[in-house]
Structures are given as structure tokens and as C-alpha cells.
Structure 1
């Protein structure tokens, strides 16, 4: 714990306040320049909107039905910032603000591990300029708030393992942080926490673990969670109770019903998750680990292995473990600038692939999203970033913010900003609120918040349901994708491209038979 490589670095890390300012600026620009993205942002903003419109404060609702997939904390926080008035931008800033707080607390944890400030600065720089931090932290999602909960849990555990004073108080603080994690995204917090607990003897030494302290922590967490779960359990229906207790927790572990991927998925994604810092020569140097590195290694490797064994996988699931990766990499800060051309080459290569292939990052023809003019606008900041890194390797940390700003610019001036936005369809639907059907069975609340709809859409799973809806809503609308097997058989009023390659349509029932 006494080794402090960062303090002897020939190229000290930028001060964390500079990085925090850059992160805040990019997150704000991201929210202002980019539309709310389907399906995560549109769905979660829709659930938060239904919580407000229907006074569903204990059991969240999605399209008029109880929504058991996620706990309510993020929806509560969104409604809190809506107290002065409902705004898309304030709602979409909630999750990024929590990520910024997690970033700052990661620096504070690093300061506890190695006082002096340089190690904390390096940890903040690395975490704040990782690809997953921008891609997943800037979107309205649950992984950023879970990352915040995990940093608070890790801080409490580090204090338990290294500070002899007031250890029971630290265990109680750990319990509160654990309860916060359950409110953030449910029992998945244990996947991140258990490896640190199991490995405590390894990173903290013998005698630091306390069974009584752990029981006290679990007691605090159970009490905190019960304050919401018991009333929700009593007021929700039978389906909600089954899903909240089993399907959305243990059921995902036993057999994922979404996002199933092979066991090697995260290993293949690791270079992207650690970009650009994986290019540091020092990252690949093997050497004995001290307590701080053992702690960070257990924090990162444990969830990495456990999530690899669980069937459901997404890159953002590992976001709560990224602070641990940043702590490991920060300890190798002096060696990171030896070969900046590696990062520069990867940047140029990624953009060349995106622009050259007939299909690319958006899942279809790049020409549908990027023209020559737009391509040049996207490339300019990246070329400038590459040139700066080649002349001043210490600026390598600007690589990912440059990519984020370039992509946001692409949304503003290119067709992607319209195609990926639900507002066009929502504006057509809003005047017929309460008389709208959805041709399909898997509606993700795309238009609830964008159209400020107060009534759920009627799900029309087959032609019989469409016929019944037409009879009861002669002046209504039906929305859905053109490739749905069950869809109206008359000419649509509007045909709109929405969500990448999908072609959507709005059918006006009054046009039927014309």
C-alpha cells in the first residue's frame, strides 16, 4: 500500500477538476445534441412519466401495466427533478449526473488508498475517459447509478479492511450502500460486491472480516429495501410479485430471457471496454500486487467472471466494475505514454471502418446516416485529436471525449438525429391520446413521454384485435412497424423511418375503406 507510482510519474496526470469539467461539458452537450434514444431512454422516461401521470409511486408502470424489470429509484429521481416542471433535458441529465458523482468518489477512494492526490487524479482521468463511461454513462440507464452504488460499497469495504477505528460503523455504512445498490438495479449489486467480500482476507489480510459486521450490514440493507418492497409487494398484483421476487433476479441468472450471449462475450469486448488505456505498455507488465491493487483486481475480475457465466450479457453490465479497472491502470500511469501511436492508429482505423463499409456502427447503410459533408465534420475533431496526441502524448485522455463530440455532431447535422428520435411519430399520436392502438405485442413505451400520453396504447396482437379496436375507436390511430405480421390492411396515413432500419407507419382508422 505504500507504493505510489503516480507520485513519481514524469508526466503527471491532469488535475481531476479539469477532467470533471470536460466530462460535465460532454455529457451536457450529449443531452442537448442527441435525441432520446430508443429503446432504453424512451422506455425509462416513459415509465417515469407514467409514475407522475398516474401517481404510481410504489409500483412503476409501463404502458398501463406494472413494470417489474427495474426498481423505482431512478424513476423517483427523475420525478424529483421534474418537481419545478417536466423537461426532457433535466430528466436525461439525472443518470449522467450520478455518473459524475461516481467519478468524483472514485478519486476520493483512490486518495484513501494512496494519499497525495496524484493517484486520485490518474484514476479520475482514466475512468472519465473510458469508452463505456461515455457510451453508457451518458444515457438514461441504470448502470451509472449502480456504478455509484458500487463505488460507495467499495469505499466502505476498503475502510473496513484498512482502518481499525469504528469498524462497526463502517459495516453499517456498507449495509446502507448495499441497500442503495438494490434500489439502483436490484440484486445484481451482489454480483459486484461478493467477490470483494470473499477476497477480503487476500487484499486486507487476516482478521479484517467480521461475521457480525456482515450480518449487521445485511440487516441495514434489508430494512432499507423493505421500506419500498413490502408496500410494493402488497399493492402489486400476483404477476408483479412473482417477477420482482424471482423472474427479474434469479430467473435471469438461471436462464436469460434477453441478451443471451456466449461465455467469451466479455473477453472479446474487453479491448473496447478499456480503450484507449488498454494500449498502455505498462498495462501488460506483470508484477507483485499490493493491497490496493489486489482490492481493485478482485473488484474487476470477480464480476467479469460471474457475468461471463451468467447467460444474459451486455457491455454496460460491467460499467460498475470500471472504477476498479481505472484504479489498476492508474497505478501504471508513468508507462502509458510510451506509444501514443497505438491509440492514434486505432482511432483512424475505427473511423475508416465506420465510413468505408456498406454497413457499420448504425447497423445499416452508412450513407443513410452520413454523407460526405457530415463525414468530414465527424473526422475533423478526431484528426485534430490524433495530431495533438502525436505531438503531446499526455493528451491521449482527450481521445474518447473527441469521439463523443464527433458523434454528437453527427446527430445534430445528419439524418440520424431524426431517425433515432420518437418525436415525429409521437407528435402524430398525441392529439388522439386514449384512442391509439399498437400493431404488435412488444411495445417499449417509445412514445409515452415524447407525446406526453396519459392513456396506454392498446396492444393489437392479431387481426381480430385490430378489428375489435376499429369498431370501438372509429376515430383512432394505429401505429406499428410495416413488417409486423398483424397490421392494418389499408393504406397508412404516414410512413416514417424510426429506430435504425425499421419502417414504421401510422394508420388512421377514418381512412379505412377509402
Structure 2
């Protein structure tokens, strides 16, 4: 029993389920959860996936990935509070799993388990995973992007680099330009501090940049029209 409780598989199954179950126990908070939940509801009911709206008025403060995902889940499971909170719960799961896999690969499985436990029981992380807004979705994609770029710097695997660009595009579509700036503000000092600045050109892969543009530009172009 003790060995089973210490297993990584149990940890990666238990923590997301724990977050998901606890996301059911309280009503929506104001202002953010009511606002963003209603924007997603409006998108779902109107079928207008281009422009986020609140009270029928365009709400262009942030890109629409949160509302796209929430609308998909409402299409699948109906309009419920727990459905709206699926996005932050899944974002938290993405961050937990990606950190676990990275730390297990580059340090050890035991340290990876401790990393997941510390993150999963952090009050700010826990609160964000139970709260409907763009922040944890953004943070999770930034985490994946940074870890992928670091892994590529170490391993030179092109597939992981393209995954990093995909995550960067998802971060951009979650909350705008900050999804690109923050990874750069993390990676550049790290590359300089570790004296790996010669690898910067390889990180700026033309195909990766093209992938990023192809992912973010259709919505930007359509909104501009």
C-alpha cells in the first residue's frame, strides 16, 4: 500500500482528480468568474467564436482561447459551473504533468514527485486551478513553452522545439503578447547565465516561427477584418 501511494502514476492521477472534485463545491465568484463564464456562455449560445462578447458587446481585453475551450466543453457536457472550471483544472494538470516529466528526465523521479506535490499543494496554484480566468491557462502554456525550449537546448530534439512554439502560440491566444514576452524574459537570462548564448540562433527556428504565425494569425486577421 505504501509503495502504491508513493508511485508516480498514483500521484499524477490523484492530484488532478483532487483538483477537479474540489472545483464543484462553491458557486461562481465575482467579478472574474461571473464575467468570463458569461462570455463563454454567450459564445456557446450564439455560435460566434470570433468575438468574445459580454451583454452582446465586444469584450476584446484578451484573446479567446479560454472561451473556445469552455464552449467546447459546454457543447460536450452542458452548461454547468464544473464544466466552466474544467479549463483551469486541465491547465493545472498540464502544468503538473509537464513539470513532472521535465524534472524526472533531467534530475530524478523522486525529485519529480516532490515537485508535483509541492506545486499541487501550493495555495496560489490550488486557488488558480479552481478559478475561471485566463491566468493559469497562460501560466501553464508558458511553463510548457519554457520547458520545451530548455529541453531542446539540452537535447537538440527538433520535435520538442516545435512543441515549445505550439505552446507559445497557445499562450499568446490565452492572454496576448505576454505569452511570448515572459518565456523570452526567462530563457534569455538563463542562456546568458549558463553561457549558452551561441545556441540562441538554433532556438529561433524558421519553421518553428512559421508554425507560431500560422497558429495565431488566422484569429488576428479575422478579428482585424
Q: Is there any run of 5+ residues in structure 2 with no aligned partner, and where?
A: none
Q: 1:20 to 1:39 in 2, by over 3 A?
A: farther
Question: Is the helix fraction higher in 1 or 2?
Answer: 2
- Is residue 82 of structure 2 the alignment partner of residue 89 of structure 1? yes
- Is residue 224 of structure 2 the alignment partner of residue 233 of structure 1? yes
TM normalised by structure 2 equals 0.86
Partners of 2:13 and 2:144 in 1: how far apart? Answer: 22
1:17-96 correspondence runs (5 A):
17-84=9-76, 85-96=78-89
- Is residue 152 of structure 2 the alignment partner of residue 160 of structure 1? yes
- Is residue 211 of structure 2 the alignment partner of residue 203 of structure 1? no
Q: 1:16 to 1:140 in 2, by over 3 A?
A: farther
SS of 1:210's partner is helix
Task: Check whether the contact 2:32–2:132 (CA below 8 A) recurs between aligned residues.
Answer: yes
CA drift of 1:190 comes to 2.6
Q: Which has the larger radius of gyration?
A: 1
What do residues 312-348 of structure 1 show as CA deviations (whole Å, max 9, x unaligned)? Answer: xxxxxxxxxxxxxxxxxxxxxxxxxxxxxxxxxxxxx
Q: Is there any run of 5+ residues in structure 1 with no aligned partner, and where?
A: 1-12, 235-514
- Is residue 168 of structure 2 the alignment partner of residue 175 of structure 1? no
Q: 1:171 to 1:25 in 2, by over 3 A?
A: closer
Partners of 1:217 and 1:25 in 2: how far apart? Answer: 34
* Matched positions, count: 219
CA drift of 1:184 comes to 1.5
What do residues 268-315 of structure 1 show as CA deviations (whole Å, max 9, x unaligned)? Answer: xxxxxxxxxxxxxxxxxxxxxxxxxxxxxxxxxxxxxxxxxxxxxxxx
Task: Check whether the contact 1:73–1:184 (CA below 8 A) recurs between aligned residues.
Answer: yes
Task: Check whether the contact 1:171–1:216 (CA below 8 A) recurs between aligned residues.
Answer: no
CA drift of 1:17 comes to 4.0
SS of 2:115's partner is helix
Task: Check whether the contact 2:149–2:203 (CA below 8 A) recurs between aligned residues.
Answer: no
Q: 1:57 to 1:99 in 2, by over 3 A?
A: same
| Aligned residue in 1 for 2:125 | 133
SS of 1:32's partner is coil
| Aligned residue in 1 for 2:183 | 193
CA drift of 1:56 comes to 1.6
Task: Check whether the contact 2:146–2:187 (CA below 8 A) recurs between aligned residues.
Answer: no
Partners of 1:219 and 1:49 in 2: how far apart? Answer: 33
CA drift of 1:99 comes to 0.8
What do residues 210-261 of structure 1 show as CA deviations (whole Å, max 9, x unaligned)? Answer: 1673454333212210121111221xxxxxxxxxxxxxxxxxxxxxxxxxxx
- Is residue 219 of structure 2 the alignment partner of residue 223 of structure 1? no
Task: Check whether the contact 2:161–2:203 (CA below 8 A) recurs between aligned residues.
Answer: no
What do residues 329-385 of structure 1 show as CA deviations (whole Å, max 9, x unaligned)? Answer: xxxxxxxxxxxxxxxxxxxxxxxxxxxxxxxxxxxxxxxxxxxxxxxxxxxxxxxxx
SS of 1:209's partner is helix
Partners of 1:171 and 1:224 in 2: how far apart? Answer: 15
Q: 1:89 to 1:142 in 2, by over 3 A?
A: same
Quote the RMSD (CA, aligned, Å). Answer: 2.3
Partners of 2:160 and 2:170 in 1: how far apart? Answer: 15
Q: 1:208 to 1:63 in 2, by over 3 A?
A: same
